[in-house]
Amino acid sequence: MDIYTEIILDYYKNPRNEGPLPDATTCAKEDNPLCGDKIRINLKIEKDKKTGKEKISKATFCGKGCAISQASASMLTEKLIGKTPKEIEKITDEDIKKMLNIPISPAREKCAILCLHAAKKALTERGSAKKSAPCPGCKKETASGRPKRI
Amino acid sequence: MKDSKALKKDFPIFATKSVKKDGKELIYLDSASTTQKPESVITAITDYYKTSNANIHRGIYTLSEKATIQYEDVRKKTATFINAGTPEEIIFTRNTTEAINLLAYTFGEKHIKQDDEIIVSELEHHSNLVPWQEVVKRKKAKLKVIPIKSDYTPDMDEYHKILSPKTKLVAITSMSNVFGTKTPLKEIIEAAHKKNALVLVDGAQSAAHQKTDVQALNCDFFTMSSHKMLGPTGVGILYGKKELLADLPPFMFGGDMIKSVSQYDSEYADPPVKFEAGTPNIGGIMGFGAALDYINKIGFKTIEENDKKLFEYAVKKLSEIEGINLLIPPADKAGPVISFTLKDIHPHDIAAVLDQDNICIRAGHHCAQPLMEKLGIPATARISFHIYNTPEDIDKTCDSLKKAIKIFE
Ligand SMILES: Cc1ncc(COP(=O)(O)O)c(C=O)c1O
Ligand SMILES: [Zn+2]
């Protein structure tokens, strides 16, 4: 079965919620040393005016890497917006695989779930000393491209 | 002489039904990672278990004697294969990585002192880098690195500059697993010896592609892996000059590596047995013997001709693809390896598209992360070949790469 479905390719080529988030309240990065995928998830967490509960009001991702990692991150940001931190903690690796709806080989699993791990890290590290600085505004990098001249 | 199409028939995996994908034949272009195995190798392993399985160097009975003789025959064959002075210079390990670690723990422990220097090159596989990083950490010594030039060959001017009386060891690959670059071993070894430094050649990539003559090279140590030489996994070789091996302490301790043991002390055997503690991979070593026979039968002339023909063909065909960038050294220094990037498509995505056509290529950092960092890319896609690969394999790969461009444009 094809892993590069139209939906995956659409999110890869026309990513939603991609780019820095200047008013983010937390963010975190994860990378996959195997293929060099890098994902940073930026979150803005606000108190809901009606319920008083914390909620993700904005979510973006920055990163580079393979189509699976980028499409997955973009799809996930859409899923995160409107959720409470508790709800995000409950999202599993399996949920991500369902969201992508493609056969993921064990070698590509890390690519797919990188974004979820970054999002959870952003939540657990918020307010702590370890917390990464709010989104520094990564510049868009290419996945591979030409090697540098040595 | 048989051509590669005919030789492919010697490798049963290509005729195995379950290996086909939607009716598509297997195209295997990842031999730098591990090669496929000919029928004769597989048979040698099963034959051993069926007809001579017994532990070696132990039994008095005929079966054990038979196994011991066969095992020692492979040692002799290996010595002849790389033209070692005597079979005692051949040590069986699990793989190249273990062979290099053996040296790092024995040679490194005994001979590297504070402020000494070990030289490696930027081309090294992690296997020939990380063990030396550890040695210099333990010994407060220094690691020096030969940089590569823009043509993906080592910068020999720099090498001669960093080589000094402090240099105790030069650990250098004979062929890069990323670019296929053949390194100028003779020049490296001669210069090192002038400074009284020893040289370890990591022969993992070249051993099954070009004739190795350790005496002509005059290298002090040489390593290789059976699984990259048409042989089974789990067998590696460390060659060392006799007098150097005799001088090294053992690496692992236990059974088989001793002369005599009393309750509180032991006397160790002579090399190579001194370095082969415990029951070795006897079955695998029988398979490795058959792999050497197979390579000898085909001959390096045929292997090198096929490598060269395929390399030239692949470079020509791949270069026709729009947006491809080949990372290859000048043709006279090139081995059967071609790394490339294709537009902005991530190598993992390239490999995944090719996999749908049952084409196996490698995508990643190839255990050479410092090198990738220098190139400013996370990974490359890499094809590498051996005697069973044909021009048609390259054609199909090119078609598949064009498909990848369509998918991701
Ligand atoms: C140049 C080189 N050295 C060392 C190794 C390590 O070999 P092994 O995994 O058999 O220990 C490899 C394997 O890819 C290699 O290409
Ligand atoms: Zn990936």
Structural domain including A17 reads 3-125
CATH architecture of B4-30+300-408: Alpha-Beta Complex (3.90)
Q: What is the C-alpha end-to-end distance of chain A, expressed in Å? A: 40
CATH class name, domain B43-296: alpha beta
- The answer to the question of residue A33 being in a domain is yes
Q: Report chain B residues whose CB lies below 8 A from the CB of A4.
A: 349, 352-353, 407-408
pTM for this one?
0.92
Pocket test for ligand 1, best of B121, B173, B205, B369 (most atoms within 8 A of CB): B205
- Looking at the complex, report in whole angstroms how far the Cα of residue A19 sits from the nearest Cα belonging to chain B: 18
Which positions of B are catalytic? 367
CB contact under 8 A, B348 and A148: no
- The answer to the question of residue A144 being in a domain is no
CB contact under 8 A, A66 and B377: no
Antiparallel, parallel or unpaired: β B167-173 and B117-121 = parallel
Query: How sure is the predictor about B372, in pLDDT bands with cuts at 50, 70 and 90?
Result: confident
Q: Report chain B residues whose CB lies below 8 A from the CB of A65.
A: 346, 378
Given CB atoms, is B369 within the 8 Å cutoff of chain A? yes
Instruction: Check whether A136 has a pLDDT greater than 70.
Output: no
CA distance B42 to B331: 34
- The answer to the question of residue A142 being in a domain is no
Residues 6+ apart with CB under 8 A from B344: A142, A143, A144, A145, B408
Average pLDDT over residues B42-58: 94
CA B204 to centroid of ligand 1, rounded, Å: 5
How many domains does the structure of chain A reveal? Answer: 1
pLDDT at B2: 76
pLDDT at B317: 98
- Looking at the complex, report in whole angstroms how far the Cα of residue B368 sits from the nearest Cα belonging to chain A: 11
Q: Check: CB of residue B289 under 8 Å from CB of residue B283.
A: no
Query: How sure is the predictor about B224, in pLDDT bands with cuts at 50, 70 and 90?
Result: very high
Q: How many CB atoms lie within 10 A of CB B406?
A: 9
Q: Which atom of ligand 1 is least distant from the CA of B98?
A: 11
Domain boundaries, chain B: 4-30+300-408, 43-296
Looking at per-residue pLDDT, the higher value among B207 and A128 belongs to B207
Give the type of residue at B70: Q
Average pLDDT over residues A38-61: 92
CB contact under 8 A, A144 and B148: no
Chain B, nearest residue to A2 by Cα = B356
pLDDT at A137: 54
Q: Encoding tokens for residue B209? A: 């592609």
CA B127 to centroid of ligand 1, rounded, Å: 6
A123-132, B83-92, B108-117, B157-166: range with lowest mean pLDDT: A123-132
Query: How sure is the predictor about B67, in pLDDT bands with cuts at 50, 70 and 90?
Result: very high
Distances (CA, A) of B217 to B37, B103, B120, B127, B221: 29, 19, 18, 22, 10
**Exposed e or buried b per residue across B274-291, where buried means at least 16 C-beta atoms within 10 angstroms of its C-beta:** bbbbeebbbbbbbbbbbb
Given CB atoms, is B348 within the 8 Å cutoff of chain A? yes
Average pLDDT over residues B103-107: 97
Instruction: Check whether A51 has a pLDDT greater than 90.
Output: no
User: Looking at the partner chain, which of B365, B374, B378 has a beta carbon nearest the beta carbon of A150?
Assistant: B374
- Looking at the complex, report in whole angstroms how far the Cα of residue B380 sits from the nearest Cα belonging to chain A: 8
Q: Report chain A residues whose CB lies below 8 A from the CB of B372.
A: 36
pLDDT at B17: 94
pLDDT at B36: 98
Chain B, nearest residue to A65 by Cα = B346
Given CB atoms, is B379 within the 8 Å cutoff of chain A? yes
Q: Which atom of ligand 1 is least distant from the CA of B228?
A: 10
Mean pLDDT of chain B: 95
CA distance B325 to B292: 36
- Best probe of the A interface among B348, B357, B367, B407, by most A CBs < 10 A, is B348
- Looking at the complex, report in whole angstroms how far the Cα of residue B119 sits from the nearest Cα belonging to chain A: 20
Query: How sure is the predictor about A150, in pLDDT bands with cuts at 50, 70 and 90?
Result: low
CATH number of the domain within which A87 lies: 3.90.1010.10
Q: Residue B154, SS3?
A: strand
Query: How sure is the predictor about A82, in pLDDT bands with cuts at 50, 70 and 90?
Result: very high
Count of pairs with CB atoms under 8 A, one residue in A, one in B = 84
pLDDT per residue as tens digits for the range B145-179? 999 999 999 999 999 999 999 999 999 999 999 99
H or E element: which one contains B225?
Answer: strand B221-225
pLDDT at B1: 62
CA distance B167 to B115: 9
pLDDT at A135: 56
Given CB atoms, is B353 within the 8 Å cutoff of chain A? yes
CB contact under 8 A, B352 and A3: yes
CB contact under 8 A, A2 and B356: yes
Percentage of chain B surpassing pLDDT 90? Answer: 89
Distances (CA, A) of A128 to A131, B207, B379: 5, 53, 34
pLDDT at B57: 84
- Best probe of the A interface among B341, B349, B362, by most A CBs < 10 A, is B349
pLDDT per residue as tens digits for the range B322-362? 999 999 999 999 999 999 999 989 999 999 999 999 999 99
- The answer to the question of residue A51 being in a domain is yes
Q: Report chain B residues whose CB lies below 8 A from the CB of A146.
A: 325, 341
A25-34, B28-37, B295-304: range with lowest mean pLDDT: A25-34
- The answer to the question of residue A58 being in a domain is yes
Q: Encoding tokens for residue A101? A: 């709806």
Instruction: Check whether A138 has a pLDDT greater than 60.
Output: no
CB contact under 8 A, B348 and A35: yes
pLDDT per residue as tens digits for the range B265-291? 888 989 999 999 999 999 999 999 999
Percentage of chain B surpassing pLDDT 70? Answer: 100
Q: Check: CB of residue A102 under 8 Å from CB of residue A8.
A: yes
Chain B from 266 to 285: CB within 8 A of any A CB: none
Q: Ligand 1 pocket, B35 CB below 6 A?
A: no
CB contact under 8 A, B378 and A142: no
Instruction: Check whether A144 has a pLDDT greater than 60.
Output: no
pLDDT per residue as tens digits for the range B6-18? 999 999 999 999 9
Given CB atoms, is B149 within the 8 Å cutoff of chain A? yes
Q: Report chain A residues whose CB lies below 8 A from the CB of B364.
A: 34-35
- The answer to the question of residue A138 being in a domain is no
Given CB atoms, is B343 within the 8 Å cutoff of chain A? yes
Antiparallel, parallel or unpaired: β B117-121 and B337-342 = unpaired
CA A143 to centroid of ligand 2, rounded, Å: 10
CA distance B135 to B147: 21
Q: Report chain A residues whose CB lies below 8 A from the CB of B363.
A: 35
Mean pLDDT of chain A: 86
Instruction: Check whether A146 has a pLDDT greater than 70.
Output: no
pLDDT at A128: 62
